[in-house]
């Protein structure tokens, strides 16, 4: 296997045709694949010595039902993975479409939330973890494993509590770097 790509190509009917050329290297391809994978958007929160921290993620994945396990991938660069490792727990709030401002803020695309989450409607669960008011659902997780996986960690958590809130039928989605809505068939 080479460490680069010519930009893609699919053999169909004997002809090789180029699809969505993406630069010359595999990390560019991986980035393009990530953008092409439509997902929901969540905010993962955890505790820090001075209060709370959170990041916006699209890497959320429900891994197992019994036991209930979920995973997400925080970047190796950045402080959030270290905070997760130190606290041993995290909360996930699945965002509604009317929460794009929160998605931007927790992604450092807007004013970064402070450690008290001032001005951000939230509740503090018995575990001490904050969950965002207005989310479609939330879950409290204990870290099961925290594996380095290239430039991200694969953080696996066991769900120990959670609530499914009334369905607005309008989750926040992301695709090709833009926020989207769901169109029901
Ligand atoms: C829609 C969306 C999805 C994101 N998904 C992830 C993700 O899965 N993992 C990640 O590390 N960063 C993701 N980010 C970027 C982080 O939210 C952002 O880098 C984070 O706020 C940085 O915090 P830190 O420097 O404390 O780690 C995403 C951003 C957006 C807007």
Provide residues with CB under 6 Å of ligand 1.
Answer: 41, 55-59, 72-75, 78-80, 103, 106-108, 174
pLDDT of residue 7: 42
CATH 2.30.110.10 given to domain 40-165: yes
DSSP-derived secondary structure letter, 171: B
Residue 171 has a CB neighbour count (10 Å cut-off) of 20
Band the pLDDT of 185: cuts 50, 70, 90.
low
Domain extent listing, the chain: 40-165
Tens of pLDDT, residue by residue over 34-76, are 999 999 999 999 999 999 999 999 999 999 999 999 999 999 9
Residue of the nearest CA to atom 10 in ligand 1? 74
CB-based contact 57:45 (threshold 8 Å) = no
Kindly report the backbone phi and psi dihedral angles of residue 34, in degrees, each rounded to the nearest multiple of 5, phi listed first. -60, -40
DSSP state of 2: -
Give the residue, out of 36, 75, 111, 117, with the most ligand 1 atoms within 8 A of its beta carbon, to mutate for a pocket test.
75
Q: What is the pLDDT of residue 24?
A: 75
- What confidence category does residue 9 fall into, taking pLDDT thresholds of 50, 70 and 90? very low
Is the predicted pLDDT of residue 134 greater than 90, yes or no? yes
Q: What is the reported pTM?
A: 0.90
Query: Which ligand 1 atom is the nearest neighbour of the CA of 179?
Result: 1
């Amino acid at each position: 296997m080479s460490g680069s790509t010519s930009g893609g190509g699919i053999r169909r009917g004997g002809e090789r045709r180029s699809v969505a050329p993406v630069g010359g290297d595999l990390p560019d391809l991986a980035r393009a694949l990530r953008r092409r994978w439509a997902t929901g958007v969540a905010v993962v929160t955890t505790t820090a010595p001075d209060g709370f921290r959170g990041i916006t993620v699209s890497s959320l994945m429900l891994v197992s039902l019994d036991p209930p396990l979920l995973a997400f991938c925080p970047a190796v660069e950045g402080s959030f993975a270290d905070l997760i490792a130190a606290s041993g727990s995290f909360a996930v709030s699945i965002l509604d479409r009317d929460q794009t401002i929160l998605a931007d803020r927790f992604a450092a695309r807007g004013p970064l939330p402070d450690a008290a989450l001032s001005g951000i409607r939230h509740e503090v669960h018995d575990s001490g973890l904050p969950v965002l008011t207005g989310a479609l659902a939330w879950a409290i997780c204990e870290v099961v494993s925290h594996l380095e996986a290239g430039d991200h960690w694969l953080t696996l958590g066991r769900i120990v509590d959670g609530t499914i809130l009334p369905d607005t039928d309008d989750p926040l989605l992301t695709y090709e770097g833009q926020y989207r809505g769901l169109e029901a068939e």
